[in-house]
Amino acid sequence: MRLPISPQARRALVALTATAVAAGAAAGPAVASGHPAQPPKSATPGAPGGEAKKAPPAHMSTLGGDQLGRPGDQLGAGAPALPPDLSALSWMVTDADTGQVLGARNAHWQLPPASTLKMLFADTVLPVVPHDASRKVSDEDLKGMGDGSSAVGIVPGQTYQSPDLWRGVFLRSGNDAVHVLAAMNGGIDKTVADMQKKADGLHALDTHVLSPDGYDAPGQVSSAYDLTLFLRAGLKSKDFTEYCGTASADFPGGPNTKGKPFGISNTNRLLSGIDGVAKYPGLIGGKNGYTTNAGNTLAEAARRDGHTILVTVMNPQENKRDKVYTEMRQLLDWGFSAAGKAKPVGTLDPPKPATGLALPEGARAGSADSGIGALGWTGIGAAVVVAGGAGVLVLTRRRRRDAQTDAAS
């Protein structure tokens, strides 16, 4: 019989055990850097950078299915051949309508998400900040933005409407817009806590939130699985779908434009078609990101022939400026060819508790069959699975999260 365990205890238990088993195989701690739309030719100002380790952990979460916890490419019977030369550390292709995962590589590898984490920010804050809300921006609202952050061009002292701020988030990946919206939500600390709660509620157990905008912070991670969850959840919102699918818009001007609006294009070039990247047919939209530590990250949704396909790509290793878009295009094409033909290797839908097993409020299983996945309750054994030990792990995790949040803000 499997003992019920709180989400926080489960997350801490998986993290501790994976560390002991993998002995540092997971990606290294992040180093602060900014969020330019594309990789700069030189390092981002103020950021020494960092590099994710190339080998995935030997053991990852099996939330969604056992195959998703295995390292390397995972395909089911009937799947077409994968595109050649896929270099991303992690990727996942999903049928949004059924929740079936059609193929994946290291789906639960915890890696820095960069600005794709803004999808979780939108999932969390969009329903809370009224559509007709506005805010006169103060210097305090923009305090704490990281060096080199991408910005849409918000000016202190000027009043902005909520829809303009959201266009700043989605089109220009503006950390300044995120900070203003976070202020409208009660502040950075509250927003980070709200985002973590939202991630837990979506069963996104690979995600540890320390900044609302995806700005690199030591210990801030997500996964291709979780980012796909955030995109799928967002597309249930009309506003999210509209903003993530907007290719260009006008943004309120400031002193530099003598108050006249100026045009902004979406840095998601597969949507906007800027800088020589061809638009993808049927693209609904998504979110892109880049930091020196995370590399390029990208989550997209597209619809064709009655299927909506979701693809997340994290950190292509081939050093080409457009590589993340090339691999995304290839995997979207592959997903449409696999839909309805390939046996799924997992699911996005949350597991159901075993019949007769009453879970405490807030508790949930951690995988489709075991709650811990490839690690297994048996493999963990008495070393860590005891009630008192789980309590200590939760307390330690909370204290560490508080300390990291203070350091990142």
Phi/psi-derived region of residue 324, left when phi > 0, alpha when psi is between -120 and 50, beta in every other case: alpha
C-beta of residue 323 within 8 angstroms of C-beta of residue 87: yes
Of 6, 61, 118, 222, which residue is the catalytic one?
118
Three-class secondary structure assignment of the chain: CCCCCCHHHHHHHHHHHHHHHHCCCCCCCCCCCCCCCCCCCCCCCCCCCCCCCCCCCCCCCCCCCHHHHCCCEEECCCCCCCCCCCCEEEEEEEECCCCEEEEEECCCCCECCHHHHHHHHHHHHCCCCCCCCEEECCCHHHCCCCCCCCCCCCCCCCEEEHHHHHHHHHHHCCHHHHHHHHHHCCCHHHHHHHHHHHHHHCCCCCCECCCCCCCCCCCCEECHHHHHHHHHHHCCCHHHHHHHCCCEEEECCCHHHCCCCEEEECCCHHHHCCCCCCCCCCEEEEEEEEECCCEEEEEEEEEECCEEEEEEEEEECCCCCCHHHHHHHHHHHHHHHHCCCCCCCEECCCCCCCCCCCCCCCCCCCCCCCCCHHHCHHHHHHHCCCHHHHHHHHHHHHHHHHHHHHHHC
C-beta of residue 331 within 8 angstroms of C-beta of residue 92: no
Cα–Cα nearest to 327, from 295, 303, 369: 295
Of 115, 150, 211, 370, which residue is the catalytic one?
115
| CA quadruple 63, 64, 66, 68: dihedral, nearest 10 | -90
Phi/psi-derived region of residue 91, left when phi > 0, alpha when psi is between -120 and 50, beta in every other case: beta
Of 61, 149, 162, 173, which residue is the catalytic one?
173
Residue 118 a catalytic site member: yes
Residue 173 a catalytic site member: yes
| Total residues belonging to the chain | 409
Residue 134 a catalytic site member: no
Q: Which residues are catalytic?
A: 115, 118, 173
